[in-house]
Amino acid sequence: MNLSPELQRDSVNDGDIDVMEERFNDAKKYMKEFLPLSVLEENTPMLASSLISPSTAQYFHNFYQQYHKEWDNSTALLLELGGGPCIYSYVSAVPHVAKIYHSDYVKANLDEVSMWKNKDPDAFDWSPYFKHVVQKLEGRTSSCAVLEREDKLRSLLRLIPCDIKADVIAPAVTIPVDILSSSFCLGSSYDTLEEYKVGLKKVYDMITPNGFFVSQTTIHLTWFKHGNKMYYAAFSLSLEDVKQYYKEAGFNVLHADTWSKPKELITGSISAAEYAFVVARK
């Protein structure tokens, strides 16, 4: 991955270990555990650790269908904040934006997305997700349509480092953006609730007037397991909390909804079974 010098960041260390690097440094393992694309197939049972479901693809599809006329598609910028190794959240955005900045704190995650962008044979295979969105949700059934969407995304995609805990979260060249998208990052990466609230205000400042904030948050998360390690959430959020804190940051909440896993799936991976999708506007 090539980053221009001004976008490079030094690793922020906690003692000798960079906690985030350590927690999220195995992109393939993360995707295998939390992003099993098999859940998109009909009649496939939900997996306990999955952060994704058919509802996820539907939510993003609905958002871009409903709101893309609210911005200029030929110039619109989208920033994915804390995108990890995942590109699913903006597959539906591709026809409606001019550039997509994918950001994360962990270099291994940016490298994984870079591999996909560069068609590296070892890159994660997102084609089931593209097929689901383009063929099933958008009704474009030719295999060309899927490949075109993948290629268009490759051409729009830029990779940048970010740090949601820093004074300046993302490089200045990328902001303000028309759409800021963030999934499962803000609600789980801050050390205190106060930091989360300050972070939301910074996110607000990174969006153009009338721009959109489209987000996913795990509800009632207290702990989760990644590999053999247990991690504990610094604070836990209800859907009402999320809406309230977005409003306090200045946003107008347009849509707030959740999908849930069957409770019997709450076994060894994660304490939460409910995932919120919230659309807010500046």
Ligand X SMILES: C[S@@+](CC[C@H](N)C(=O)[O-])C[C@H]1O[C@@H](n2cnc3c(N)ncnc32)[C@H](O)[C@@H]1O
Pairing verdict, β 157-161 and 99-104 = parallel
Q: Is 131 in the site for ligand X (CB under 6 A)?
A: no
Residue 21 CB, nearest approach to ligand X (Å) = 8
Q: Which of residues 180-219 bind ligand X (CB under 6 A)?
A: 183-185, 188-189
- Which residues make Cβ contacts (< 8 Å) with residue 272, sequence separation at least 6? 218, 219, 220, 221, 222, 224, 266
Q: What is the DSSP letter of 52?
A: -
Q: Which of 28, 15, 45 is nearest to 264 (CA)?
A: 45
Binding mask 155-184 for ligand X (x = CB under 6 A): -------xxxx-----------------xx
DSSP assignments along 112-157, one per residue: HHHHHHTT-TTS---HHHHHIIIIIIT---SHHHHHHHHHHHHHHE
- Which one among 39, 97, 100, 106 touches ligand X, defined by CB under 6 A? 106
For residue 259, the surrounding DSSP H or E stretch is: strand 252-260
Residue 24 CB, nearest approach to ligand X (Å) = 4
**CB closer to ligand X out of 26 and 178:** 26
Residue 269 CB, nearest approach to ligand X (Å) = 12
Residue 264 CB, nearest approach to ligand X (Å) = 23
Residue 232 CB, nearest approach to ligand X (Å) = 14
DSSP assignments along 11-65, one per residue: PPPBTTB-HHHHHH--HHHHHHHH--GGGGSTTPPPPTT-S--HHHHHHHHHHHH
Looking up tokens 């409003």 gives: 247
Residue 188 CB, nearest approach to ligand X (Å) = 6
Binding mask 57-96 for ligand X (x = CB under 6 A): -------------------------xxx-x----------
The span of 102-110, 237-245, 255-263, 264-272 binding ligand X (CB under 6 A) equals 102-110
- Which one among 51, 206, 242, 273 touches ligand X, defined by CB under 6 A? 51
Contact 72, 173 (CB under 8 A): no
Show the tokens assigned to 45.
Answer: 């049972």
**CB closer to ligand X out of 104 and 178:** 104
Binding site for ligand X (CB under 6 A): 20, 24, 34, 51, 82-84, 86, 104-106, 109, 162-165, 183-185, 188-189
